[in-house]
Amino acid sequence: MIVRILAKSKTFKGVLYNTNKVDKNKGELMKVSGFGALQGMTKLSPLDYIDYLQMLSARSKRIEYPQFHAFISAKGKTVSKQQLTVIATAWLEKMGYGQQPYLIIFHKDTRNHHVHIVSTRVDKSSGEKIYSKYERIRGITALNQVMNLDEKLVSKADLEKALAFNFSTKAQLMMVLESKGYKVLEDQGKLVMVKFGLRLCEINASAVEVRTMNYRPDVGRAKQIRAWLQEYRLLYSGVLRGQTVPLPGGRVKQQARYTSDLAVVLKEKFGMELIFQGNPGKAPYDYTLLDGVQGNVFKGNELLDLSVLTEELGIALQRPIPPRSDWTANIPNQEQMDELLPLALDCALHSEQAFTPYEAPIGLSIADDIDDEAIHGRKRQKRNNTR
């Protein structure tokens, strides 16, 4: 894993460079943070973000090169875009940019998965320059610290986040945890979270039952989601298909889970996840919706009947899943999502975050990024390498 702080610039051309990648389906905007009311607007263009950064940077006339542009890369495709986003968010906190306006963009057009980060060196609160002495060395040190996050600490943070959901049954809490990649076992009156083959965290089942007694249905939110389901099922197919995972050699493995075009759009556009319940090899008999933005768990019958949600309405009347050129479609309500940062980063980094927790990959190694070498030249210092 490496981090590099790129050449200084008087303008925020790094925004256009990265959003051009997104428009060409070579990248994906993963996170927008710190832009205030701007994030509540729709149909934003890259120039909107540039204007905001320039306006903020104009507070200091002494800073000639306000753009902060860096990237974090791992060798090959061993680290997912979500993991890189978590790592980048934690790294920004360490570097003093956690409360700054910034963009995190994932690049997928080279042999190495990596994310770019664009921000301003002018402090949003004070108007002064963010501390930059020994920046490259500090960047490497900060990344090393972030990579040492304790998996047990992260699992405790994920449990706290899950317990903050408004759920009515123990099974619903288990679904929230499983959506984060954990296997949840019941053992001697406890719910045990397992990942990496390790028992990472546990909670007494009796405490969960007490927690369910506080459940109060969010009628207003259910009404809003029901309206979205009714609207979007007319645009995107709700017909179920089996989920697959990629395997080496271009093969795929069928999973005992279902999804649909509608489910994909709801997750990307609204941060809502549809989980379909059923026996392996048989059609689902029910579903649950996880509302990741406002922290609700809804049973299907509280929203829309499964048969209505998944019925075929005619392909000719429905739209395909939005292309990545609609580069703001997958980040609505991001400011709200940011508030759900795992407590792991609160404890270790005094920070916040909303993506899937970092899972320490096995065999991470350093990789040069040919794409960025071509763009920014080969004049980087060897001291930036964390080998």
Whole-structure pTM value: 0.47
Q: Kindly give the residue spans of alpha helices, DSSP state H, lying in 233-312.
A: 261-270, 306-309
Q: What pLDDT, on the 0 to 100 scale, is given for residue 347?
A: 31
Q: Which residues of 112-131 are buried (b: 16+ CB within 10 A; e: fewer)?
A: bbbbbbbbbbbbbeeeeebe
Check if the beta carbon of residue 50 is closer than 8 Å to that of residue 321.
no
| Each residue's pLDDT tens digit, 232-280 | 999 999 998 887 655 545 555 666 688 899 999 999 888 899 999 887 7
Question: Is the pLDDT at 366 greater than 50, yes or no?
Answer: no
What gap in Å lies between CA 387 and CA 384, rounded to an integer?
A: 9
Element (H, E) at 52: helix 46-57
The fold of the 2-149+333-384 domain, in CATH, is BirA Bifunctional Protein; domain 2 (3.30.930)
| Each residue's pLDDT tens digit, 178-206 | 988 899 999 999 999 997 677 889 999 99
Q: What pLDDT, on the 0 to 100 scale, is given for residue 320?
A: 54
The domains of the chain are located at 2-149+333-384, 151-212, 219-317
- The token duo for 329 is 């479609």
- List the Cα angle 268/269/271 in 5-degree steps: 70
Percentage of the chain surpassing pLDDT 70? Answer: 76
Question: Is the pLDDT at 353 greater than 50, yes or no?
Answer: no
Task: Tell me the average pLDDT across 71-90.
Answer: 89
- The token duo for 82 is 């979500």
Question: Is the pLDDT at 300 greater than 90, yes or no?
Answer: yes
Check if the beta carbon of residue 191 is closer than 8 Å to that of residue 202.
yes
